Amino acid sequence: MASPEVLNDETRQPPNAGIDEMFPEGGWRAWSVVLGAWCAMIPSMGMLNTIGVLEAWIGENQLAALPKSQTAWVVSLYAFFLYIGGSCAGAIFDRYGLRPVIIPGSVGMVASLMCLSVSKGMPRIQSTTIWSTIADVPICQSTTNSCYPSAS
């Protein structure tokens, strides 16, 4: 297994020694990086911060027949899959770049929220069991939301 500090034979410097020159130090370019990172964090961390509201809505609408002790699993699994999925998305981002992470994350986030909103009104897709809600919110939504922090 190679050492992370592999030295170049000719210059005896780490291969990423000149990389600091590529990063902007102040000005519009540097602040646009901060703004872009902030915008990328809003979807996933914003949903995590407001997941209590979503839990109350699911408990009153989608899973009204179930006790709170069973519907609390939705929120717990959401946080779990959000952080576990971030480690996988980070590796994909490091290897392949931004597009293979952000595009499925954006489409999946919108699709999972849409599926949750229409599942009660459609007779064939009714989300009255906890398993269908777990498949939508914690698994689909949190794994697609986990794509955002790794790319920022």
Question: For 109-121, what is the mean pLDDT?
Answer: 76
Residue 144's nearest CA partner among 101, 90, 114 is: 101
Whether 21 maps to a domain, the answer reads no
Within-domain flag for 39: no
- Asked whether residue 81 is assigned to any structural domain, the reply reads yes
Q: Which residues form the domain of 124?
A: 63-152
User: pTM of this prediction?
Assistant: 0.66
Question: Is 19 inside a domain boundary?
Answer: no
- Assess whether pLDDT exceeds 70 at residue 79: yes
Q: Which of 41-45, 90-94, 129-133 has the highest mean pLDDT?
A: 90-94
Is 72 part of a structural domain of the chain? yes
In a domain, 20, yes or no: no
Q: Is residue 29 part of a domain?
A: no
70 inside domain: yes
Domain count along the chain: 1
For 8-18, b/e burial (b = at least 16 CB within 10 A) is eeeeeeeeeee
How many of the other CB atoms lie within 10 Å of CB of 3? 6
